[in-house]
């Protein structure tokens, strides 16, 4: 099975990215052929500062490698190192109806958040379809918020195949329901654009501060509490062993367990869980040239596949003999 997924270098990655998407990406390396990329063309729709974009790309590469991405086994690359994707996106855009794109929530949501309503932002799902179809991807592990984009990709692939004959592999989304939406410190979906994130690799003090911000109700320390409705408990469950989860749930139910104490426990757990990855990330950060080599090697392997697909598409549509 060929897996593919991308992540945008539009900021610092957080627990939502890890538990909603990246952890699955890393796990799927065992027994599958995986293509993972840093979606820098996509990030241009929101990041306008070139230095920041460069920093973010390096940051995402370090995060993935530290979290266990194995570049010997997985094709790990930067999207813009395979510009063939833009060529495919153009061809696909000519068979994509306006109506299909107009129905996409993400454009409307982003514009509502103040992001410029550019043509790139509007046509983003076509580029995403090209990302997926260029590599004959069969499975695409993503968070729930990307489900609609996968449906658009499937529509485009089927339309192409209906018009020109079987050419493109129709992919399937793989969405982990259990952690489909990781809540942020305010209870909404954790997201860079809501300012409610807890970063995996932020400084210790920053993580503690973010955890302190988690919104709680006004119950007193003594009152018994329902753990399932509690954000601290829900986040803790992502990282804690079953015994530890039961213990926290028991304390909440029993009463006499305050939110301050629970938050300390959560911050400790986050630091413990990501501790070994953090050490690895620091070691990798000392060798940025090594990271660039990894991405270049990935791009070479990705281009070999991309060129073959594009050739097939160009022949089908009549751009080549």
Judged by the rule CB under 6 A, the positions of this chain that interact with ligand TRP are: 4-8, 39, 42, 128, 131-132, 140, 142, 146, 149
For residue 164, give the nearest of 320, 21, 6, 1 by alpha carbon.
320
Rg (CA), the chain: 21
CA 158 to chain CA centroid, Å, is 25
Gap between the Cα atoms of 141 and 23, Å rounded: 10
Length of the chain in terms of residues written? 321
**For residue 200, which of 235, 176, 175 has the smallest C-alpha distance?**
235
Structure-block tokens of residue 126: 């076509």
Q: Check residue 256 and give left, alpha or beta (phi > 0: left; psi -120 to 50: alpha).
A: left
Measured CA angle at 58 (ends 4, 129), to 5 deg: 30
132 touches which of ligand ADP, ligand TRP, none (CB within 5 to 8 A by kind)? ligand TRP
Residue 207's Cβ-side half-sphere holds a number of Cα atoms within 13 Å equal to 21
Residues 278-304 as b or e (16 or more Cβ within 10 Å = b): eeebeebeeeeeebeebbeebbebbbe
| CB 264 to ligand TRP: min, Å | 32
Look up 189 and say whether it is catalytic: yes
Catalytic annotation, pick one of 108, 110, 209, 269 = 110
Could you say whether residue 69 binds ligand ADP (CB under 6 A)?
A: no
Instruction: Give residues 128-187 in contact with ligand ADP (rule: CB under 6 A).
Output: 142-143, 145-146, 181-182
Residue 4 lies near ligand ADP (rule: CB under 6 A): no
Q: What one-character DSSP code corresponds to residue 19?
A: I
Catalytic one of 189, 225, 263, 316: 189
Q: Toward ligand ADP, which CB reaches closer, 88 or 140?
A: 140
75 makes contact, choosing from ligand ADP, ligand TRP, none, with CB < 5 to 8 Å by partner type, with none
Residue pair 134/84 in contact (Cβ under 8 Å)? The answer is yes
* Residue 202 in the binding site for ligand ADP (CB under 6 A): no
Give least dist CB 10 to ligand TRP, A: 8
- 40's contact among ligand TRP, ligand ADP, none, with CB below 5 to 8 A by partner kind, is none
Q: In angstroms, what is the minimal distance from the CB of 226 to ligand TRP?
A: 32
Nearer to ligand ADP, 32 or 303 (CB): 32
Residues in contact with ligand ADP, total (CB under 6 A)?
18
192 is catalytic: yes
The yes or no reply on residue 47 touching ligand ADP (CB under 6 A) is: no
Task: Please give the biggest Cα pair distance in the chain.
Answer: 78
- The nearer residue to ligand ADP, 75 or 190, going by C-beta atoms, is 190
Residue 108 annotated among the catalytic residues of the structure: no
CB 73 within 8 A of CB 134: no
Distance in Å, CB of 287 to ligand TRP, minimum: 27
**6 versus 11: smaller Cβ distance to ligand TRP:** 6
Residues tagged active-site:
110, 189, 192
Site residues (vs ligand ADP, CB under 6 A): 7-8, 10, 16-17, 20-21, 142-143, 145-146, 181-182, 189-193
């Amino acid at each position: 099975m060929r897996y593919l997924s991308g992540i945008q270098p539009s900021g610092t990655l957080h627990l939502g990215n890890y538990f909603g998407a990246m952890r699955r990406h890393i796990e799927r390396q065992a027994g599958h052929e995986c293509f993972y990329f840093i979606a820098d063309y996509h990030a241009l729709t929101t990041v306008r500062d070139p230095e920041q974009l460069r920093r973010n790309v390096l940051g995402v590469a370090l995060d993935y490698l530290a979290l266990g991405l194995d570049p010997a086994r997985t094709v790990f690359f930067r999207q813009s190192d395979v510009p063939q994707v833009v060529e495919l996106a153009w061809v696909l855009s000519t068979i994509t109806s306006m109506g299909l794109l107009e129905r996409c929530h993400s454009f409307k949501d982003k514009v509502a958040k103040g992001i410029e309503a550019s043509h790139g932002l509007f046509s983003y799902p076509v580029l995403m379809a090209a990302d997926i179809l260029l590599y004959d991807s069969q499975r695409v592990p993503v968070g729930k918020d990307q489900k609609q984009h996968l449906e658009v990709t499937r529509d485009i692939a089927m339309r192409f195949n209906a018009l020109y004959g079987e050419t493109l592999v129709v992919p399937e989304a793989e969405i982990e329901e259990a952690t489909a939406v990781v809540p942020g410190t305010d209870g909404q979906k954790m997201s860079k654009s809501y300012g409610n994130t807890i970063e995996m690799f932020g400084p210790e003090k920053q993580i503690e501060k973010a955890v302190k911000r988690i919104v709680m109700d006004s119950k007193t320390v003594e009152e018994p509490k329902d753990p399932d409705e509690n954000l601290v408990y829900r986040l803790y469950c992502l990282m804690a062993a079953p015994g530890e989860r039961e213990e926290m749930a028991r304390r909440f139910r029993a009463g006499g367990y305050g939110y301050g104490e629970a938050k300390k426990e959560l911050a400790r757990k986050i630091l413990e869980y990501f501790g070994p990855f953090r050490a690895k990330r620091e070691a990798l950060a000392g060798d940025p040239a090594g990271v660039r080599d990894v991405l270049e090697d990935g791009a070479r392997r990705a281009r070999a596949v991309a060129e073959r697909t594009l050739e097939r598409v160009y022949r089908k549509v009549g751009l080549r003999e």
